[in-house]
Amino acid sequence: MFTGIIEELGRVVDFQPQETGARITISCSTILQDAAVGASIAVNGACVTAVALSADRFSADLAPETLKRTNLGALRPGAPVNLERPLRANSRLDGHFVLGHVDGTAEVVALEPLGDDNWWLRIRVGRELMRYIVSKGSVAVDGISLTVAEIAEDVAGFTIIPHTYRHTALHARGPGSLVNIETDILAKQVEKLLRRA
């Protein structure tokens, strides 16, 4: 379980396709301070397992399902990635409940300056996921907990504050970029219960 509060901006060092999946290696420092082999780490919002660790990097194996549903398969050396360690039971919940189970990707329509280093992000979301997105609700976009500011048909809009723009991989995104989306688990659970009723 994560919160969508990005702890560190890492960089892809290596990406090796394998027969079934791939192995990704990411350079970082903060999230490795208490990490061990087998630790869960959110990379652009996708929960992966650290299978190798060193002082300044970790590697994770990416399953075919992960490559299909996320933007991780498009990453190449040098690409910035959002990193977060899992939530501890005794920690404050600053964002929202993020499972690290990415539902799919969305296309960046625009990332435009609003002034004072604030930005306006608009993403095009598929209809199958848009039904779980509500105005003023929370969505994890590349693992970042964001509040929905606007919905216009299949496009969701978010205000990006200076801190988020500077300390996440959003500054490297532009029109046409794919971002990972995880919608609110509560909406999916409610929908399932209502179907049964």
Give catalytic residues, as residue numbers.
2, 40, 47, 49, 63, 101, 147
CATH 2.40.30.20 occupies which residues in the chain? Answer: 8-84, 104-196
Which pLDDT tens digit goes with each residue over 119-154? 999 999 999 999 999 999 999 999 999 999 999 999
Q: Is the pLDDT of residue 36 over 80?
A: yes
Q: List CB contacts of 7: < 8 A, sequence separation 6 or more.
A: 30, 31, 83, 84, 85
Q: How far is residue 60 from each of residues 20, 21, 27, 103, 117, measured CA to CA in Å? A: 14, 11, 12, 20, 34
Which pLDDT tens digit goes with each residue over 99-108? 999 999 999 9
Per-residue pLDDT band at 95 (split at 50, 70, 90):
confident
DSSP string, the chain: -B-S---EEEEEEEEEEETTEEEEEEE-SGGGTT--TT-EEEETTEEEEEEEE-SSEEEEEE-HHHHHHSSGGG--TT-EEEEEPPPPTTS---S--B-S---EEEEEEEEEEEETTEEEEEEE--HHHHTT--TT-EEEETTEEEE--EEETTEEEEEE-HHHHHHSGGGG--TT-EEEEE--HHHHHHHHHHHH-
Return the bridge partners of 179, or none.
106
Q: Is the pLDDT of residue 93 over 80?
A: no
Query: 104-196, what's its fold?
Result: Elongation Factor Tu (Ef-tu); domain 3 (2.40.30)
Q: Regarding predicted confidence, which is higher, 197 or 6? A: 6
% of the chain with per-residue pLDDT over 70: 99
Q: What is the reported pLDDT for 185?
A: 82
Statement: 8-84 belongs to CATH 1.10.3720.10: no
Q: Is the pLDDT of residue 111 over 90?
A: yes
Q: Is the pLDDT of residue 197 over 80?
A: no
Q: What is the reported pLDDT for 97?
A: 86
